[in-house]
Amino acid sequence: MLLNALRKLGGVLYRLLSVFIFLAVWELAARFQVVNPVFLPPFSEVAATLWKLIRTGVLLDHLLISLQRSLLGFGLGLAFAIPLGLLIGWYRGFERFIDPLIQTFRNLSVLSLLPVFVIFFGIGETSKVAVIFWGVLWAVLLNTIAGVKNIDLSLIKAARSMGISNYGLFTQVILPGALPTIFTGVRLSATSSILVLIAAEMLGANSGLGYALYFYQSNIKYPEMYAIIIVLAVIGVAVNYSLAAFEKRTFRYREELPETGSV
Amino acid sequence: MTVGEAKIIVKDVNRRYRIKQRSKEGGEPFLALQDVSFTVNAGEFLTIVGPSGCGKSTMLDLIAGLAVPTSGKLYLDGRPIEKPALDRGFVMQGYALFPWRTVRANVEFGLQIKKVPRKERREIAERYLRLVNLTGFADRYPYELSGGMKQRVAIARALACDPEVLLMDEPFAALDAQTRETLQDELLRIWEETKKTIVFVTHSIDEAVALADRIVVMTSGPGRVREIVEVPLPRPRRVANIKATPDFMRIRYRVWELLQGEVQEAREVGRLHAELPEEAKERPGEALSPIAAG
């Protein structure tokens, strides 16, 4: 039992080893002035600054406003993209009609549209939310379409053979069948939407993590700048891991190989 | 319901498909079924056997109401078949279980459509899982089951709504030989217990003979009924035992001959065609018809 726990702990430590080495190299490179410590302060100093930002509540303020923008844009994006994707995926003719437009828009960088959003919505909250909305929209839309299109036709046939109504077919077969693929789109766009938000906040905002990042950089407060970058990295990892864990738990039936021995 | 009454009547059914235009000569309609007529008696085990492309699966889709004939009529209990309903259960080769539903929830699917209350649904599911020997697997997901078990679930799901007719489209084709034989025996047992009418499509002559009361032998291009063969083998049967009897061999050979004859005939038509003068080849119908020739 104890041996097992130790082995497990060893496994976790091994998984984190590369990160520790990276931080150590960072610390030493700054301490021994391999790089200019003004541009890259040692990790310990950045960590202390980060703690200060947490303690004073400065970080929390920026974090909350960024999260609020993210969630709002994200929610709106999903509310729009999923129903539309289900519709497009189901009506093949409509898909052929709309697909070129979708392909064009999805390959258009969100940031290139930022000036347009600023014209329409100003530099307030709306333009930030709009950027997130746009960033989330296409990945989720395309995954939803793919999810509907790739549903096993024999499942539809089985349901139809039982005389299911169109509404029933949609709620009992199409939606649950497409859900795993839809969720993959959600997970992929979640991390990218945070990246997009940071860029948007850097370009025009007076609050939020992106704004803080830009503010500290232009005021030569480099330890604070690095502290924000660390926070962003942690958020990215946390969001991705928790969504992946949720995905694995919710859609465990997708696993190809049985966990328990089958007869 | 007495055995022997006509349950399903298939009358002069034609089914034409328009093939999608791939090559230049494409776009021509393809005749999947031509003038197909047969009757399935109540409580009968009828198998349909034929080579791939003979339209036997199409036939089953028509009875299920999943497709409509180009011409001709189908009746169930004297009423025309128009759309799918729970009076016919459908079992497919690929199991078609909903992967996000547990075994129990899969079996309950049709009952949910029927709006059977939850408690009752559970009891019925339990009963049919017992019938297919899957008690204790109710909370598993399909991915945790072997192919044979999945097909048992599919059978339980089809039976749970208590259909009068069970339509089976090559249900055991993807299983290994041993599992297949076990399931054949179980299907015979279930059939005898439940007194359902079964229409069973297969491309295996052995399977068709071992299970059936009568066999509809179909031939391809276009799909037609070649002959309907009676199978007067004793019941109840065990597949392994019945296969060793001389009667089984005789019927099996007869069906084989019928299917083989189709190939033979196609060759003969080809030879005849080759001997015709050039101009007649372009209008073979006219050349063969004395009226047109005159």
- State the pLDDT at residue A15: 86
As beta bridge partners, residue B30 has B17
- Chain A CB contacts of B143 under 8 Å are 253-256, 258
What does pLDDT average to over chain A? Answer: 87
Pairing state of beta strands B45-49 and B197-202? parallel
CA dihedral B46, B50, B55, B58 (to 10 degrees): 40
First to last CA, chain A: 30
pLDDT in tens, A195-223: 888 888 887 788 899 999 999 999 999 99
> What is the rounded CA–CA span in Å between residue A79 and residue B48?
49
Indicate whether B284 pLDDT > 50. no
Q: Which of A148, A34, A50, A46 is nearest to A90 (CA)?
A: A148
- Chain A CB contacts of B90 under 8 Å are 157-158, 161-162
For residue A103, the SS3 value is helix
Q: Which of A133, A134, A246, A230 is nearest to A187 (CA)?
A: A246
User: Which one of A161, A165, A172 has the shortest CB-CB distance to B66?
Assistant: A161
Q: Which of B59, B21, B17, B22 is nearest to B40 (CA)?
A: B59
Q: Is residue A2 part of a domain?
A: no
Q: What mean pLDDT do residues B281-287 have?
A: 39
DSSP state of B237: -
- State the pLDDT at residue B21: 55
Question: How far is residue A193 from each of residues A34, A136, A140, B145, measured CA to CA in Å?
Answer: 35, 6, 12, 39
Tokens of B287: 């050349």
- State the pLDDT at residue A194: 83
- State the pLDDT at residue B289: 36
Query: Does residue A249 belong to the interface with chain B, where contact is any CB pair within 8 Å?
Result: no
Q: Is residue A177 part of a domain?
A: yes
- State the pLDDT at residue A128: 87
Tokens of B225: 């009924």
Instruction: Measure in Å the smallest separation between the Cα of B151 and chain A Cα atoms.
Output: 13
Q: Is residue A192 part of a domain?
A: yes
Tokens of B30: 């393809």
Q: A170 and B90 in contact (C-beta within 8 Å)?
A: no
What does pLDDT average to over chain B? Answer: 86
As beta bridge partners, residue B215 has B47, B229
First to last CA, chain B: 56
| Residue A66: its H or E element | helix A58-90
Which range, of A36-50, A90-104, B52-66, averages the lowest pLDDT?
A90-104
> What is the rounded CA–CA span in Å between residue A206 and residue A200?
11
- State the pLDDT at residue B287: 35
Instruction: Name the domain count of chain A.
Output: 1
User: Which one of B110, B144, B161 has the shortest CB-CB distance to A258?
Assistant: B144
- State the pLDDT at residue B269: 56
Q: A122 and A149 in contact (C-beta within 8 Å)?
A: no
Q: Is residue A44 part of a domain?
A: no
ipTM score for this prediction: 0.82
> What is the rounded CA–CA span in Å between residue B228 and residue B62?
19
Q: Is residue A93 part of a domain?
A: yes
> What is the rounded CA–CA span in Å between residue A65 and residue A40?
27
Question: How far is residue B88 from each of residues A172, B85, B113, B216, measured CA to CA in Å?
Answer: 20, 6, 14, 19
Q: What CATH number does the domain containing A238 carry?
A: 1.10.3720.10
User: Which one of A162, A254, A258 has the shortest CB-CB distance to B86?
Assistant: A162
Q: What mean pLDDT do residues A237-251 have?
A: 87
Closest residue on chain A to B64 (Cα): A161
Q: Does B143 sit within 8 Å of A258, measured CB to CB? A: yes
- State the pLDDT at residue B127: 94
Q: DSSP H helical segments within A204-221, as ranges?
A: 209-218
> What is the rounded CA–CA span in Å between residue B173 and residue A107?
45
Q: A165 and B115 in contact (C-beta within 8 Å)?
A: no
Q: Which residue has the higher pLDDT, A118 or B162?
A: B162
Domain range for A168 is 52-250
Q: Is residue A150 part of a domain?
A: yes
Indicate whether A25 pLDDT > 50. yes
Q: Which of A51, A4, A33 is nearest to A226 (CA)?
A: A51
Query: Does residue A254 belong to the interface with chain B, where contact is any CB pair within 8 Å?
Result: yes
Could you give the percent of chain B with pLDDT greater than 90? 72
The dihedral of CA A228, A232, A238, A243: what is its sign?
Answer: positive
Question: How far is residue A234 from each of residues A24, A185, A198, B164, B281, measured CA to CA in Å?
Answer: 18, 21, 14, 61, 78
Could you give the percent of chain A with pLDDT greater than 90? 49
Q: How many CB atoms lie within 10 A of CB A221?
A: 15
> What is the rounded CA–CA span in Å between residue B243 and residue A214?
82
pLDDT in tens, A124-170: 888 888 888 988 898 899 999 999 998 999 999 999 999 999 999 99
> What is the rounded CA–CA span in Å between residue B155 and residue A154?
15
- State the pLDDT at residue B271: 53
> What is the rounded CA–CA span in Å between residue A88 and residue A146?
10
Q: Is residue A33 part of a domain?
A: no
Indicate whether A256 pLDDT > 70. no
- State the pLDDT at residue B19: 67
pLDDT band per the 50, 70, 90 thresholds, residue B60:
very high
Give the CA angle between residues B109, B110, B113 to the nearest 5°: 95
pLDDT in tens, A99-126: 888 888 888 888 888 888 888 888 788 8
Q: What is the value of pTM for the model shown?
A: 0.80
- Mutation target to probe the B interface, by most B beta carbons within 10 A, among A151, A161, A257 is A161
- State the pLDDT at residue A110: 80
pLDDT band per the 50, 70, 90 thresholds, residue B290:
very low
Tokens of A146: 């793919």
Residues of B contacting chain A (CB within 8 angstroms): 64-66, 83-86, 88-90, 92, 94, 96, 98-100, 109-110, 112-113, 141-146, 149, 161, 167
User: Which one of B66, B98, B144 has the shortest CB-CB distance to A157?
Assistant: B66
Kindly tell me the burial class for residue B51, based on how many C-beta atoms sit within 10 Å of its own C-beta (0-12, 13-18, 19 or more): middle
> What is the rounded CA–CA span in Å between residue A87 and residue A77?
16
> What is the rounded CA–CA span in Å between residue A69 and residue A244?
22
Find which of A13-17, A35-39, B17-21, B102-106 is predicted with most confidence, using mean pLDDT: B102-106
Q: Is residue A46 part of a domain?
A: no
Beta strands in chain B (DSSP E): 6-18, 29-41, 45-49, 71-76, 79-80, 88-92, 165-169, 197-202, 214-219, 224-230
pLDDT band per the 50, 70, 90 thresholds, residue B125:
very high
pLDDT in tens, B247-283: 999 999 999 999 987 656 555 555 554 444 444 444 4
Return left, alpha or beta for B174; rule: phi > 0 is left, psi -120 to 50 is alpha, else beta: alpha
As beta bridge partners, residue B81 has none
> What is the rounded CA–CA span in Å between residue B91 and residue B171?
6
Q: Which of B71, B1, B8 is nearest to B198 (CA)?
A: B8
User: Which one of B84, B94, B99 has the shortest CB-CB distance to A161?
Assistant: B84
